[in-house]
């Protein structure tokens, strides 16, 4: 799933991953939607954003 990159921040998300294709300055994410994994995670460090794409790259 590669969500659309919007022209404005997704107001429901704060993200500091400034190396992501979807990152916007001010710690915003401009992906229309994101997916977070991992099922059955028991602490914060076991979760991550599966929508992440390295800046300047595309998976597709
Ligand atoms: S897609 Fe995920 S990692 Fe990338 S800016 Fe949005 S929330 Fe952050």
What tens digit of pLDDT does each residue of 1-60 get? 699 999 999 999 999 999 999 999 999 999 999 999 999 999 999 999 999 999 988 655
Closest C-alpha to ligand 1, atom 6: 29
Q: Would you call 54 helix, strand, or coil by DSSP?
A: strand
- Per the structure, the complete domain to which residue 36 belongs is given by 1-54
Torsion angle of the four alpha carbons 17, 19, 33, 25, in this order, in degrees rounded to the nearest 10: 70
Q: Whose CA is nearest to atom 8 of ligand 1?
A: 15
End-to-end CA separation in angstroms for the chain: 10
Nearest-atom number in ligand 1 for the CA of 24 is 5
How many structural domains does the chain have? 1
Q: Is residue 60 part of a domain?
A: no
What number of helices (H) and strands (E) belong to the chain? 0, 4
Report the separation in Å between the CA atom of 22 and the middle of ligand 1, taken as the mean of its atom positions.
Answer: 6
């Amino acid at each position: 799933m590669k969500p659309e990159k919007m022209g404005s921040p997704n107001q429901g998300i704060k993200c500091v991953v400034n190396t992501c294709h979807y990152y916007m300055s001010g710690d915003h994410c401009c992906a229309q939607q994101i997916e977070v994994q991992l099922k059955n995670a028991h602490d914060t460090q076991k979760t991550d954003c599966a929508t992440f794409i390295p800046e300047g790259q595309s998976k597709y």
